[in-house]
Structure 1
């Protein structure tokens, strides 16, 4: 087994590059993210072992690779309430996006809309960002407690799921965010991770701090007629031509 050791750092999040299969991005922190410094690591799995591609000192909790081929970008969520976008070939961030009022625990690129990602924070909000304009397009007060995780539906650009310390999962339609389209309850501890199934949008998976795992079957209804009564959604965050 190949091992990479980063002294005085504990792995907090790791994501495999969608286009470079032997490359991973890792968020590492002192004291398991409770205090101290943090580091963003980009690593390659080679025949001779795990090699360091890039090390950046930053207070980071979450990482995710861009799904657009050729861009090779990473988005991170930080202790300082900012989301940063990185090119792993550079030692500095390309963009710093501000708006959250708490730690950003989760960041996820849209698999549908280029230059768009969502972030979940300890301030209880889910935010949708437009990278080209460097602005927040949508801010949703998704939970009355910290949100630890979010994930985008792979089959519907309008659907995002959030998991919170209030032990619930909320499923949001970004075209109308007045209330969630589904709220799932069953865990008795904070939900550390939520993932939408990669083969069907009706399945969600959740994981708690006590290592309890649940699989959910969710039926979503969608509106096929534009009535003009819904709030702004992904139509307002598509990349300008």
Structure 2
């Protein structure tokens, strides 16, 4: 799929279903999956849309209805036809796009809404989920139950992502205003009640905690070229770039339980909360953001002399823009999705 520069965006309308997330297939450069919910996700059904993007437009190839709203979607890294969805009823479902009706597997362990899913591109047989119940769970499609549960935060975990550089490192963000990094090689567990011996059941602890904002952090992403560089965004309308190797430690912390991190850059410009941030898979200095101000924006962390960080504003949407995703194959091609029930694909 080639989108010429300056061409109007390709658009797909899905009446009655507001979008929450979208993802490009890692196997096919034209496949795009969209997670959506009726009634803006407040009550009612969900729908998974499978689309194909071509020079003439976006075609709806198939759709699957669910009993509750869908909040996120991730393609399998090991099977080209499989995709996992995160649902408002706390469930995860695995779909095969060659089949027409029911999911091929389902899991129900989270006690509240599942808000994000992420498939590892290194350990390709594993994926993560994060939930409003404060936990992050590690899964294999071949297992009936989760492999590991992290009590990552005391409140809603909006997103959990595998590092693209180190297979056992994950990052999370939460309503508590922190970014956390966990090492899955050092599992830890929450005690089952007051008075439990923490030496036999140690408290769950992050390898690094970054107090990134005084408000909720709604999204994060790993830089694909610079290990331990993260972008965060949320209610404070700012996008912040963190170098988590620059650990600040206090008298009661160690490098394995660090608190801190250096904010390299702050990108200001959105008028309302930033709902999604994603680094480009093609360039280390380029990232996109989606916001409740009804725009999707593209930023450079290395502007030209006298230039600005803001490169592009995409503003045809008429409602909250809640998702954006860079094409993995076509440099500069970006997809956005919104509560206006529209998916746009455009060239930056």
In structure 1, the gaps of 5 or more residues are 30-36, 221-241
1:210 Cα deviation after fit: 4.1
Aligned counterparts of 1:50 and 1:208: Cα–Cα separation in 2 = 33
| Structural RMSD (CA) | 1.6
Aligned counterparts of 1:79 and 1:219: Cα–Cα separation in 2 = 35
Match of 1:68 in 2: 122
In structure 2, the gaps of 5 or more residues are 1-60, 188-204, 247-259, 304-348
1:184 paired to 2:267: yes
1:119 to 161, 164, 172: 172
Which of 1 and 2 has greater Rg? 2
**How many pairs does the alignment contain?**
210
TM-score (norm 2): 0.58
Please say if residues 2 and 50 of structure 1, whose CA atoms lie closer than 8 Å, have aligned partners that are also in contact: no
Kindly indicate whether structure 1 or structure 2 has the higher relative contact order, using CA contacts under 8 Å at least 6 residues apart.
2
1:170 paired to 2:240: yes
Please say if residues 54 and 89 of structure 1, whose CA atoms lie closer than 8 Å, have aligned partners that are also in contact: no
Match of 1:6 in 2: 66
1:93-132 to structure 2, matched below 5 A, reads: 93-132=146-185
Please say if residues 61 and 105 of structure 1, whose CA atoms lie closer than 8 Å, have aligned partners that are also in contact: yes
Which runs of at least 4 in structure 1 moved beyond 3 Å after TM superposition? Answer: none
1:178 Cα deviation after fit: 4.1
Aligned counterparts of 2:231 and 2:261: Cα–Cα separation in 1 = 15
1:51 Cα deviation after fit: 4.7
1:42 paired to 2:101: no
Aligned counterparts of 1:13 and 1:171: Cα–Cα separation in 2 = 23
Q: Deviations over 1:197-217 (max 9, x none)?
A: 010110010001343100001
Aligned counterparts of 2:148 and 2:176: Cα–Cα separation in 1 = 21
1:18 Cα deviation after fit: 2.4
Aligned counterparts of 2:261 and 2:220: Cα–Cα separation in 1 = 18
CA separation of 1:50 and 1:112: change in aligned 2, threshold 3 A? farther
Please give the secondary structure, in 2, of the residue aligned with 1:2: strand
1:91 Cα deviation after fit: 2.3
Aligned counterparts of 1:139 and 1:192: Cα–Cα separation in 2 = 21
